[in-house]
Amino acid sequence: MSKKWLIIGPSWVGDMVMAQSLFKRLKADQPDCTVDVVAPGWSQPILARMPEVQNAVALDVKHGEFGWGKRFQLGKQLRGRYSHSIVLPRSWKSALLPFVAEVPERIGYRGEMRFGLINDMRLMDKQRLPLAVERYVALGGAISMERPEILQPQLQVDQDNQQRFLEQNNLNLDKPVVALLPGAEFGPAKQWPVEYWAESAEALADKGYQLWCLGSPKDRDVAEQIQTASKAPVENLCGRTELKDAVDILALAKHAITNDSGLMHVAAAVGCHLVAIYRTTTPEYTPPLTENCHILRADLGGDESLKGVRELPVGIKLTDVQPNQVVDNLG
């Protein structure tokens, strides 16, 4: 009998892209199984580009919101539909929905006192599974001491939407495209300085590239700063793209320069060559899942307290990745 999976997905773009490795693993192990994913409404365009996912089930709760009523109501609506569930987040509230939905087998890591809500409780071995994606994929199989095989995320691309977007925004492909991805939801400490983006844009324009800056409406200001600081023409598409558009436009780019961000993972999943810049975060936990990538890291000067900070303390400066390092990796 084929399994019917209900996956409680993560709440960030990059994490959702990485979760596709789990969905691919489930389908590889049992091709006739069904995989439905519960996730915020914003993630629907990403899940729609994953052929492994049959249905995306929207649960629109904000970050930090408990959303008891929404979770309970959706759980009741889903009763009797699923044989197995995997809860990727480790919070108590994320385990509530499959319990209410009466899914017989509910798998997840030990988290916020979830005994009873999770009835197949796994201990997370961070040394054996150092990567976030490995921790996701490991929940899809039997408990093992081996590191799981990682199947690379691959988002489908809509060529009709690509053409529509190019026409509506008066863009063309007469020169190869470098996508600039200067945003990072985590905080400003992740973000490469504006002047370095501008300097890189000038050098790349001299090499015959055109520059498209992509991101959310929140990234429009930093993109405008890059435009002002750079003598090269930079097309500011921040806020002009829905998430589905970002998938398709990144697939047109030859290269992408990116902070450690959700769009970094999207660009990797559409086959774009990446130059990924890590500042206070590290690629040891959530690297881009592609071999077509150069990872460059700032020097924290041995100050371990800077790892993972959202904002750099006043007076602290990193020995940052330099523009020439980025440009040299693009050829």
Q: Looking at residues 219-234, what average pLDDT do you find?
A: 96
User: Which of 150, 174, 97 minimizes the C-alpha distance to 288?
Assistant: 150
pLDDT value of residue 163:
96
Q: Looking at residues 4-19, what average pLDDT do you find?
A: 95
What's the CATH code of the domain at 27? 3.40.50.2000
Question: Quick check: 213 pLDDT over 80?
Answer: yes
Tokens 């881009």 correspond to 288
pLDDT in tens, 30-46: 999 999 999 988 889 99
pLDDT in tens, 249-261: 999 999 999 999 9
User: Which of 3, 278, 247 minimizes the C-alpha distance to 140?
Assistant: 3
130 and 164 part of one domain: no
225 and 103 part of one domain: no
Q: How many domains does the chain have?
A: 2
Which H or E run contains 210?
strand 210-213
In-domain check, residue 152: no
pLDDT-derived band at 312 (thresholds 50, 70, 90) equals confident
46 and 186 part of one domain: no
Domain end (from 138, 171, 193): 138
In-domain check, residue 217: yes
In-domain check, residue 155: no
217 and 263 part of one domain: yes
pLDDT value of residue 309:
75
169 and 318 part of one domain: yes
User: Which of 185, 130, 159 minimizes the C-alpha distance to 270?
Assistant: 159
245 and 294 part of one domain: yes
178 and 317 part of one domain: yes
In-domain check, residue 33: yes
pLDDT value of residue 186:
67
CA separation for the pair 207, 179 (Å, rounded): 15
In-domain check, residue 145: no
pLDDT in tens, 152-209: 999 999 999 999 999 999 999 999 999 999 987 767 888 899 999 999 999 999 999 9
Angle between helices 194-206 and 220-229 (to 10 degrees): 60
Say if CB 3 and CB 81 are below 8 A apart.
Answer: no
Which H or E run contains 257?
strand 255-259
106 and 222 part of one domain: no
pLDDT value of residue 300:
83
Q: Looking at residues 49-60, what average pLDDT do you find?
A: 95
Question: Quick check: 233 pLDDT over 90?
Answer: yes
Task: Report how far Cα 79 is from the mean position of its chain's Cα atoms.
Answer: 30
Which H or E run contains 71?
helix 68-77
Beta bridge partners of 121: 108
Residue 117 Rama label (left phi>0; alpha psi -120 to 50; beta): alpha
In-domain check, residue 14: yes
46 and 124 part of one domain: yes
194 and 321 part of one domain: yes
54 and 200 part of one domain: no
In-domain check, residue 154: no
Report the chain's mean pLDDT, rounded to a whole number: 92
Q: Looking at residues 100-116, what average pLDDT do you find?
A: 91
131 and 164 part of one domain: no
CA separation for the pair 272, 264 (Å, rounded): 10
pLDDT value of residue 112:
75
Residue range(s) defining the domain that contains residue 61: 4-138
In-domain check, residue 308: yes
